[in-house]
Amino acid sequence: MKVRLIAYRKATDSATVDSTFELDLKGNANVPLNFRFSDIKNPESRKASYSQTFKLPFTPANNDFFQTWFEVNMETLVFSASQKFDATLMVGSVPQFEGYIQLKSIYKKAEVYEVVLMSNTATLFNVLGEQKLQDIFLESDGSYSRDLNHKFLTNIIDSWNGSSNDFENVLSQSLRDTDANVQKVMYALQVTVPNFYFNASSNEYLAMSDTSVDDAWEKKVPITQLRPSIQIKYLLKRLIAKAGFSYTSNFIDGTGDYASEKYFSKLYMTTGNTLEAPELPSSNTGVSAPAGTIQAYTTITYGGNFINPSQGANCVSFGKTTFQAGLELSDPQSAWNSAQHYFTKVSTTMESVRIYFRANRRNLANCNHGTSAESRNIIIYISVIRVNPTTGAEIGEYIPKRFC
């Protein structure tokens, strides 16, 4: 007798009832079934029956049900690989297995859909199997979701303010959980490198208040060591939806008896807390170029001269000096050319360059540069110059010079 596989789903988004689709099996169909029964010693446990994975060919009938899922340019789809659709396996007209069908993968070259049948008593754990947490962010086209991607430095403080909508992802969508007034991502004060906090009286690192301390440059705190923490409620809801399930829980949603506390919404999963590095590795999933940070620095002293200590002496110009950092680098994306000393923007997420320097002055008297108090300042000009990446030759001023 003929083995038949019948699946059901709505034909359109606006449909109110399911339509019937008879799917084409491959050749002499062989669909191994595993029937499981509840453990009478543990009545609270439920074991789901299921089939082994099997393949369905690219045929008009199958493409109609799966809506040619491998065509990523389709605009309107009812079928989704993350949802469950009722299905019945029959021999002739006799049902042998009733449950739902789930698409596991697509092999375009072989032109087959790989599917599995699960009974209606399937649990969340059956569906998830050996998947990892990162898989809940995997999109149908093989890319990863950008829902939590965000700019780092501009959002650290915003992540602490649950009443603000300013913390946005790269898609300009707010990351605020409006039900609990917390952010879905928060930068907790957990650190991985030394010198983050000292006693209030130490005048060191974050406790530093005296701006004239001579070694302040060496006592700066790398704020990029902070790691993002992700709201567990957000992860759990995404995991459940990805598996094709729904849930009802006052505890998770912070309703009913938990409406005043909303305790579960305030639990977070930390990330990257075992990586002892000044910044967290990252990747830009929107484009092929990587994202991240770069630090090019040097301890070389640039410029140095003596001027006549008398008040009437003319000012001395030290001339232009090119910043050089050949060895002192933290540059995982190779954005800094250490031979010719220039920076190249390698990612769309690199949106700013910060330049720090320390003016080291000793035994200086004011030189003759005017009569006003402002004119007696020592002026340092900084220019960022566009250069030829092959020769290193300057080809024009890219950012107007500034002074301090």
Pair 49, 168 in one domain: no
Q: Strand, helix or coil at 138?
A: strand
The answer to whether residue 315 sits within a structural domain is yes
Look at residue 219 and tell me whether its pLDDT is greater than 80: no
Residue type, 274: T
Averaged pLDDT, 125-135: 78
Pair 288, 404 in one domain: yes
- The CA distance from 52 to 62, in Å, is 19
pLDDT at position 370 is 54
Pair 360, 287 in one domain: yes
Adjacent-strand bridge partners of 98? 88
Q: What confidence tier does 266 reach under pLDDT thresholds 50, 70, 90?
A: very high
The answer to whether residue 141 sits within a structural domain is no
Pair 50, 122 in one domain: yes
Q: Give the structural domain span for 112.
A: 3-130
Measure CA of the first residue to CA of the last residue in the chain; give whole Å. Answer: 88
- The CA distance from 120 to 162, in Å, is 39
pLDDT at position 280 is 64
The answer to whether residue 200 sits within a structural domain is no
Global pTM? 0.51
- The CA distance from 245 to 243, in Å, is 6
Pair 266, 179 in one domain: yes
Pair 297, 246 in one domain: no
Nearest to 232 by CA among 184, 200, 278: 184
Pair 125, 161 in one domain: no
User: pLDDT over 90 for what percent of the chain?
Assistant: 16
Look at residue 311 and tell me whether its pLDDT is greater than 50: no
The answer to whether residue 203 sits within a structural domain is no
Pair 99, 42 in one domain: yes
Helix (H) or strand (E) holding 234: helix 232-242
| Per-residue pLDDT tens over the stretch 27-62 | 766 676 565 544 544 534 545 565 678 889 999 998
How many domains is the chain built from? Answer: 3
The answer to whether residue 215 sits within a structural domain is no
What mean pLDDT value characterizes the chain?
75
Q: Could you tell me the CA-to-CA distances from 262 to 2, 229, 235, 253, 324 in Å, in that order?
A: 55, 18, 16, 7, 53
